Structure 1
């Protein structure tokens, strides 16, 4: 009879064992964090130039009022967690755009989307964060990075904030590698060449001290907007037509093709511009406005355009 009793006890022991395992799993902390399956919550985020934020759990309803961050959110695999974005978040196309403004955010309008995380580019005196804190919603401020390295760090931070740390790290690594390869392939071809980067038809430009200017600097190009003081006007001076004509840049990059319908033909029709080296050598490059101004993975497309243009001009 002893062997028989032992056999009859087996099902009971199995049930008890499974019950104990289930209880242990329920007691274990929630460590799910996106497709990577890596834990990390609660997580403390320390963005550059902004207050630190602690997220107790993975956010599932994110509102992004930063076009650049919107792109990064989707790039790290957090797109399904994004419930609303601002009116300027035009990429990707499937982002849930609204009429909300990232420049003058309305706390009540934001709260209407019931977010558990709000991301903005700036928050003067922390007024938005204070208002949203009353509803228990954390605000993460991600300011415009000043260097490529700080951009990579921001990619990683977005990954950590959304429960996709591995994806954020991979995105930063791949973007950096792509840019470094493009620059290495060009070599010293850009040295001795000058350029003019146009933000709008009234000749606002960027200096070498800006984020955009640093990208050009990777190729050793000379910026005609620097003149004697690259830090003047916050790095965004308005040049005169005379200054541009006198500098006679080897390359002209148009970052006003979408906003202002500028292109190679419109530039050539400007008084005296048909005499510029860039125009005569067919070195007027039409850039997508947002790809050339946002700190997103699409910065690689911008770098590639510069690399191709430098290679052609040096040939």
Structure 2
């Protein structure tokens, strides 16, 4: 599932998180075999790319993080305007929300990585023979790991990608195992200050589910979108044990600001220190910093119990 965002950008991400994920990885052309190209199964089909591309453009903050985490950073020549991590990523004015094929082509990429096919960017680049990997927002942990492996294969860093996946799995397991199951504890995850939230069936909801937390937004999702907008009355009535704020940067929210909302000062989470201020970016991306999000949840669970 970021840097400071407008509400429109937040909701664009919400739409992205609702999409499906790409296919599996075809290792038949792994760069270690000496082949000149490799084939990766992505959401846009089987994509053939150079065995080790030298001019990568990323239009996805989550994938930018992964590329650098697996050692492909030196191959990246440009990233989109929301790719704020790591700090040394070559940030540009390229947009992942309104991608412009001509602007991307100016960087002469031999591989472009996207998480959404907006403005027909995939076909536009394929038309000029530029390989594009469409790796959408992950629906679950397995898909997140699969996409990391895809990027490893596509960039000549399969071993590093596999190690990253193994390390992430171990860290997440350690955090969950160290936190006793949150039996009966309820939570509210805030996407923005308009009270948009996530349900248990979303990627984020499944992460919370690892700890046995109960999501108050589930019964409010009448449209089954996975991303309902809660009413103030409903939220106050539910009185969640934990409140996770994923809008600290986009909307300037924190424990102090929400305590000033009408009626919120009486909520148990507000009175008992159950408000958790998350980094918007870490709480919305399905890449290498996911274990940090998990640790934030684990620490909150242990504090409340």
Shorter-normalised TM range: 0.7 to 0.9
Distance (whole Å) between structure 1 residues aligned to residue 199 and residue 44 of structure 2:
25
Using the TM superposition, give the Cα deviation of residue 122 of structure 1 relative to its aligned residue in structure 2, in angstroms: 1.6
* Separation in structure 2 between the aligned mates of residue 196 and residue 39 of structure 1, nearest angstrom: 50
Is the partner of 1:52 in helix, strand or coil?
A: strand
Cα distance in 1 for residues equivalent to 2:36 and 2:172: 32
CA distance in 1, matches of 2:159, 2:33: 8
User: Are 1:50 and 1:143, in contact at CA under 8 Å, matched by a contact in 2?
Assistant: no
Aligned partner of 2:10 in structure 1 is none
Match of 1:25 in 2: none
Query: Residue 150 of structure 2: which of 138, 144, 157 is its match?
Result: 157
Separation (CA, whole Å) in 2 of partners of 1:288 and 1:174: 21
Q: 3-state SS of the aligned residue for 1:83? A: strand
TM-score (norm 2): 0.87
Give the TM-score, by structure 1 length. Answer: 0.84
Of residues 222, 245, 250, the one that matches 2:241 is 250
Match of 2:230 in 1: 239
Q: CA RMSD in A?
A: 1.8
Q: 1:129 is matched with which residue?
A: 122
Partner residue of 2:82 out of 77, 88, 100: 88
**How far does the alpha carbon of each residue in 1:269-305 deviate from its partner, in whole angstroms, 9 at most, with x for none?**
1111111110111110000000000011111111001
Give a deviation string over 1:100-147, Cα, whole Å, max 9, x none. Answer: 11112111100000000011112259x323322333211110100100
Q: Do the aligned partners of 1:40 and 1:163 also contact (CA within 8 Å) in 2?
A: no
Task: Say which SS state the counterpart of residue 178 (structure 1) adopts.
Answer: helix
1:197 aligns with 2:197: no
Cα deviation code 1:29-58 (max 9, x no counterpart)? xx995xxx67554211112x4322112431
Is the contact between residue 254 and residue 277 of structure 2 (CA under 8 Å) also seen in structure 1?
yes
Alignment CA distance shift 1:244-1:132 (3 Å): same
Q: Which secondary structure state, in structure 2, belongs to the residue aligned with residue 196 of structure 1?
A: strand
Max Rg structure: 1
**Are the counterparts in 2 of residues 39 and 163 from structure 1 also a CA contact under 8 Å?**
no
Residues 174-213 of structure 1, C-alpha deviation per residue, up to 9 Å, x if partnerless? 101100110011132x111000000111100000011111
